[in-house]
Copies of this chain bind each other. A is one copy, B any other.
């Protein structure tokens, strides 16, 4: 059965990328592969909008998140964790595993952290060495105000801002150097349009300074070691060869299209999706800063969000349900990476039918039309 993948990671992989990755295997220490790594290193800097080296790991995003904790902090340190969803919780869990004291800034699911609250906590507790946050909290589809957070954290010379950009990077603007983000972590399988299995981390000079004194144990995710290897166009351990080849192909696409155009398109799809949801009489789960890369929708009263997901899947369309406390209450539609405007219109059309089937009456076409008007107007 034909499938339309509209989940916020993994997202669809372009056939061109699949072909690139289906090339005969090559050895990761051979000159031919080192040339690929050299190219990828340059293009990753473009994508991250940084002059710093972007570290590559054969792992999924959580691995690089673990690395971000273990390479910058030491047991006994204090960290401020913005916890506004499933992935905020992950930062807290990771810190606790490494014996780092967690000052937890709880944010109600569906809302964004307030920069002034972060500033108040940092002022109240000068021991805080790092602030951990999601750029896009995938579980709630809220984009935390990372630029404003960076302005706050900059005032504290011994504190870094660590951003989980796994579902954000390549999806909407997050210029690392311009905004002054200290650690940016990303993953291959979302806006980067690759299969899962590669994770990335880039560090500011301020963050690299902290690496020097960090005493947490690390080996596979040893950032300093990886930095040294990449300077020689190698990875510290075996490279994810096929994914790296796919990455080269995808980064070429990012260069060719240009970040601005890609970001504008995702933002347009997001506005169209939100307009469609409103036209169907539904509410967003994201009460503030709804994300440009996915939309989280509250299931209509009396209808299980998981049922919406299951019914959509019967039509060949894979959307995501809610996670943890949001399970059953919401469903989520991605609009990033290789997902295009036609995919979104098809999904919205199918959603109208599914909602009707489940007993929530929607006039067919009303959401699609609302989306079309936005997509058309700004094409």
Chain A contact residues, CB within 8 Å of chain B: 3, 5, 7, 9-13, 18-19, 21-22, 24-30, 58-63, 66, 70, 93-94, 97-99, 187, 189, 195-197, 216-221, 237-243, 313, 318, 320
Contact = CB atoms under 8 A, between A and B. Distances in A.
Nearest to A240: B197
Contact of A21 (B9, B10, B21, B241): B21
A239 B187 CA distance: 12
B219 A217 contact: no
Max count, chain B CB within 10 A of own CB: residue among A10, A29, A238, A243: A238
Contact of A25 (B10, B22, B94): B10
A24 B99 CA distance: 41
B10 A238 contact: yes
13 contacts: A5-B25, A5-B27, A22-B22, A27-B320, A58-B63, A58-B196, A60-B238, A62-B237, A99-B217, A189-B238, A196-B238, A197-B240, A197-B243
Given A59-B59, A196-B238, A197-B243, A5 B22 contact: no
Given A21-B21, A60-B240, A217-B217, 6 more contacts: A22-B22, A61-B237, A93-B219, A99-B217, A197-B197, A220-B221
B25 A11 contact: yes
Contacts of A25: 5, 10-13, 195
A211 to B, nearest CB: 15
A34 to B, nearest CB: 13
Contacts of A13: 24-25
Nearest to A309: B30
B10 A61 contact: no
B26 A313 contact: no
A241 to B, nearest CB: 6
B238 A187 contact: yes
A291 B182 CA distance: 47
A218 B313 contact: no
Nearest to A318: B27
A217 B216 contact: yes
Contact of A98 (B11, B12, B94, B217): B217
A22 B226 CA distance: 29
Contact of A59 (B5, B12, B63): B63
A196 B318 CA distance: 28
A7 to B, nearest CB: 5
A22 B189 CA distance: 15
A12 to B, nearest CB: 6
A28 to B, nearest CB: 7
B30 A12 contact: no
A220 B59 CA distance: 9
A9 B25 CA distance: 10
B58 A197 contact: yes
Please indicate which of the listed interface residues A5, A59, A62, A313 has the most CB atoms of chain B within 10 Å of its own CB. A59
Contacts of A98: 217
A191 B19 CA distance: 24
A333 to B, nearest CB: 13
Contacts of A30: 313, 318
A240 B58 CA distance: 10
A220 B5 contact: no
Nearest to A245: B195
B27 A7 contact: yes
Contact of A97 (B11, B189, B218): B218
